Structure 1
């Protein structure tokens, strides 16, 4: 129960990796607000055991109004915000292709959600964290920028930006007692990935063969690292990106 009594906001928390992270926080004793474009309220109803420790709110993280409403919803439901997990992002719907063939509007949307979305969500919760004198922001990145994965240039670029923002924001917010770290998963068998046959065909086998741990990565494999960065176990750690990919990349 490393997060007992804490309040965590998880963007993109209705399904996939985000849903597993929400479940991990509930198991660790936290109150959780699920923020997602769709399914947040329904997911909260499924996970709450009657103790009103899980709530949900519709949120598009690329919208400043939505992220500000998200932060207000967390405060109204639980009175404070201790942890933000910036999990919402575009990946599983993308089709690998040469960079010359990536549609410009797709480029813009990936950057809006994966980069600006994390900045807006952080901007929305930081005032509450500043007033408390502490807080944790955990950005979900990716192992792809470390390995230079081809044919998904917009996605790789967006997650490289997340790694850079993690370092810069850690320095900017450290004096306020707010720690900022990132977790970078490898190719994960999330709900979205499982529904994308093109990604499965092109990436599943090559990802599996590149790992020291020879099995598929599951959403639950990411949870422990997130809880570590959200708990007192990492009280003297900030600005770091931890790659969680079964040993495909050594940092």
Structure 2
């Protein structure tokens, strides 16, 4: 929503229906496109990128935000199939989307790739081993790809949010309240993190103001992990 409010046309790629979000984006005055796709499917990813190029003629910014998580539990209770699915969505998906969008960015001689990772990696949060590992992998991905694409004037950066109180999470009152209390004790800034906290960083990394910043991870977690 923040990027749309600042004038960006937006293609929303989601495995579920994103028509409601697309309508909200369109209400801001930006052109929008809702695409149903599984980011772990090469065919779906290629189709999504082709649809975006057909609709808008160019791709300047890629935000790799699609991800999955799972209920906390000890690592030895995570099966190989669940581990693979986590990695397919959280690491293979961003790789394929980046691979598909870099060529049109190279044509423009400019681009921004923003990977949404997680402060759980820096915090060493237990009982989410496959999720935390996937997000740590994406931090390495961010750094290595930034080295490769610098000469193309394409920056690659990451945002690592902490526990974020979205509308969906806020509705899960019983499950969330205890975690919120525990989380708050670790924060330097004693309030809930909200999506708007992340949107400002994404806007900055998408803008010309960040043109000499690449390979970096901005941790937005209220001062829990200080790196």
The TM-score by the shorter chain falls in which range?
Answer: over 0.9
Residue 23 of structure 2 aligns with which residue? 45
Q: Which runs of 5+ in 2 are unaligned?
A: none
**Match of 2:190, SS?**
coil
Residue 19 of structure 1 aligns with which residue? none
Superposed, which structure 2 residues align to 1:71-86 within 5 Å?
A: 71-86=49-64
Check conservation: 1:95, 1:199, Cα contact below 8 A.
Answer: no
Structure 1 residue 218, shift from structure 2 partner = 1.1
Deviates more, 1:233-242 or 1:185-194: 185-194
Structure 1 residue 167, shift from structure 2 partner = 0.1
Q: How many angstroms apart in 2 are the aligned matches of 1:27 and 1:233?
A: 17
Structure 1 residue 135, shift from structure 2 partner = 0.3
Deviates more, 1:229-238 or 1:206-215: 206-215
Residue 99 of structure 1 aligns with which residue? 75
In structure 2, the CA distance between the partners of 1:188 and 1:72, relative to structure 1 (3 Å rule), is same
Structure 1 residue 29, shift from structure 2 partner = 1.0
Residue 208 of structure 1 aligns with which residue? 184
Aligned counterpart for 1:122 among listed residues 98, 107, 113: 98
Residue 68 of structure 2 aligns with which residue? 90
TM-score normalised per structure 1: 0.86
TM-score normalised per structure 2: 0.94
Structure 1 residue 26, shift from structure 2 partner = 1.2
Please give the per-residue CA displacement for 1:171-205, whole angstroms capped at 9, x wherever unaligned.
01111111000000001112443455685256322
Check conservation: 2:5, 2:28, Cα contact below 8 A.
Answer: no
Q: Which runs of 5+ in 1 are unaligned?
A: 1-22
Q: Does 1:180 align with 2:161?
A: no
Q: How many angstroms apart in 2 are the aligned matches of 1:127 and 1:32?
A: 18
Question: CA RMSD of the aligned region, Å?
Answer: 1.7
In structure 2, the CA distance between the partners of 1:50 and 1:192, relative to structure 1 (3 Å rule), is closer
Q: Name the count of aligned residue pairs.
A: 227
Q: How many angstroms apart in 2 are the aligned matches of 1:202 and 1:105?
A: 30
